[in-house]
Amino acid sequence: MTSEAAPVLAVSGLRKAYGAVLAVDRVDISVAQGEIVGLLGPNGAGKTTTINMILGVLAPSAGSIRIDGIDLAAHRSEAIGRTNFAAVYAPLPGNLTVEQNLKVFGLIYSVPRLKARVESLLETYDLLGLRKTKCGLLSSGEQTRVSLAKAMLNQPRLLLLDEPTASLDPSAARDIRARIRAFADTGEAGVLWTSHNMAEVEAVCDRVLFLSRGNVLLEGDPKTLPALHGEKSLEDLFVAVAKETLTGQEPA
Amino acid sequence: MRIGPIAGVITRYLFLLSGSPARVLPLFAWATLDVVLWGFITRYLDQVGNAGFSFVPALLGAVLLWDFQTRVLHGVSLTFFEDVWSRNFLNLFASPMRVSEYLTGLVATGFVSSLVGLSVMLTVAWAVFGLSLAAYGAAALPFVLVLVLFGLALGIFGAAVVLRFGPASEWFVWPIPGIVSPFVGVFYPVSVLPGWMRAVSHILPPSYVFEGLRAVAAGKGVAWPMLWTAAAMAAVYVLLAGLFFAWVHRYAVRTGLIARYSAESVN
């Protein structure tokens, strides 16, 4: 489900250089309300660098980022207040309980009616029985559910997910995918999703962008894109793009 | 500045304290031991020393106030280190919280936690050695104010250094009080220092506190203008430390330091 309204994320001409090394170069990304966009690419393609710039923890060398119409460079706090994220490499503090983490980040995100919001999220993400458990003691799947609950605290207009199902068993991963799909289907928000699981991307994403060496190489519907480029599946296309990274040749 | 993010930083530390005696004990344990040790030393010096000069307000009072300032410094830096140790920077700095709000949260937490230490130290000093802040008269307020402000400035400065150079530079924060103390004349007048050290002491606000403290103990008046100048100087240091932290944060965002902040990857 997508919308004709203004995009919740509009990235234009994004570039990040570390000296002579270009990590991201002239990347344009648009995410509409109700849309899940997959950001794909081999390791080192620039996915996490792009997400870090959208989150405001890495300054771009050039380009602009607008979140829900707000310029990130000019109004960082307001723009970031309309987004949230979950990433496997950014777990919540393990020395706080599930409930404490949600309360603390609820305060940091200035969530109104926080107590009720935390209760609602604990219930939605099946965390009621774990509310007093320290996050460091949770399983990978449980930690991912807590990270997602934190990411939903402020009802973001843009949700950034960096490999949210990595290290999850198939059942937990399916559960997470269903929750994210349901969130996007409300039509209130858009999702930018990175993953190395092509079957997952094909099942969940409305559109994908292939990044290679910091550039957007391909863009389109994950169900039709492989055939357009002479590949049988999204995974084959991914492998072709990854090889292109090594050989410098474009996929067929 | 919004109250929510500041309350978030404070609440997180309170949650940590509530479940951890190992975090509560250091708030007052070492400072209390210092008070006990120096309390008996000053009691002995009072017995063998000149009548007319009381070592209790001069030496024990100095130890108490110096330990208080150290508590303030450690209060700020420990709150910051909790984020370092739990690798929480990405979650914090990818939130709408502004740097000024984060620093205000650190400062408030450091101040409140140091008051816990001060309360225990004052109670022990009063109950066991008969020392009360009232012994310093009206000067007690600027004494405490100067030390709070300078402790906050040192804490913010230390946090900025660790943000810039990574968790491995944590060691830098702990000896700061030891490095500063010879210059500010905690236990002796700055007049005994060589010229270059005296010059340094003039730009360190606590020097004026300890000089004032000895003046009160000797029955002399307090140089109020100097004391309030020291308070203003300490306030400027807080501002400069905050600006330094903000500058380091901008550097960290520009270079990607925050996004990849970990013990082994930063140098």
Interface with chain B: mutation pick from A104, A154, A161, highest number of B CBs within 10 Å: A104
Interface of A with B (CB under 8 A): 18, 48-49, 52, 55-59, 77-78, 80-81, 85, 87, 89-97, 100, 103-111, 150
DSSP B135: G
CB B213 within 8 Å of CB B144: no
Mean of the per-residue pLDDT values of chain A: 88
Among candidates B104, B138, B128, B110, which has minimal Cα distance to B36?
A: B128
Could you tell me the residue ranges of all domains in chain A?
Answer: 91-155
B85 to chain A: closest CA residue: A93
Per-residue confidence at A208, pLDDT binned at 50, 70, 90? very high
Residue B108 Cα distances to A192, A228, B72, B102, B155, angstroms: 37, 59, 10, 10, 12
Q: For residue B47, what pLDDT is reported?
A: 81
Residue A160 has pLDDT above 90, yes or no: yes
Q: For residue B154, what pLDDT is reported?
A: 95
Sign of the torsion formed by the C-alpha atoms of A192, A195, A200 and A206: positive
Quick: pLDDT tens for A8-41.
999 999 999 988 888 899 999 999 999 999 998 8
A106 to chain B: closest CA residue: B8
Sign of the torsion formed by the C-alpha atoms of A187, A189, A194 and A197: negative
Q: For residue A99, what pLDDT is reported?
A: 96
Which value does ipTM take for this structure?
0.88
Quick: pLDDT tens for A63-104.
999 999 999 999 999 999 999 999 888 889 999 999 999 999
**Other beta carbons within 10 Å of A185:** 11
Q: How far apart are CA B60 and CA B65, in angstroms?
A: 9
Residue A119 Cα distances to A103, A133, A136, A187, B130, angstroms: 10, 15, 21, 23, 51
Q: For residue A121, what pLDDT is reported?
A: 94
Q: How far apart are CA A208 and CA A233, in angstroms?
A: 13
Contacts of A223 (CB under 8 A, 6+ apart): A202
Q: For residue A247, what pLDDT is reported?
A: 52
Beta bridge partners of A70: A67
Contacts of A19 (CB under 8 A, 6+ apart): none
Q: For residue A141, what pLDDT is reported?
A: 83
Total-model pTM: 0.89
Q: How far apart are CA B267 and CA B253, in angstroms?
A: 15
Task: Name chain B contacts of A103, Cβ cutoff 8 Å.
Answer: 11, 15
**What mean pLDDT is predicted for residues A224-235?**
85
**Least Cα separation, residue B77 to chain A (angstroms):** 18
Contacts of B148 (CB under 8 A, 6+ apart): B68, B69, B72, B111, B114
Contacts of A31 (CB under 8 A, 6+ apart): A7, A8, A9, A37, A158, A190, A191, A192
Q: For residue B267, what pLDDT is reported?
A: 40
In order along its 267 residues, chain B shows pLDDT tens digits of: 899 999 999 999 999 988 788 888 888 888 888 888 888 888 888 888 765 667 777 788 888 889 889 999 999 999 999 998 888 888 999 999 999 999 999 999 999 988 888 888 889 888 888 888 777 777 778 888 899 999 999 999 999 999 998 888 888 888 899 899 999 988 888 899 999 999 999 999 999 988 888 887 777 777 788 888 889 999 999 999 999 999 999 999 998 888 776 533 444
Per-residue confidence at A2, pLDDT binned at 50, 70, 90? very low
Among candidates B22, B113, B115, B69, which has minimal Cα distance to B123?
A: B115
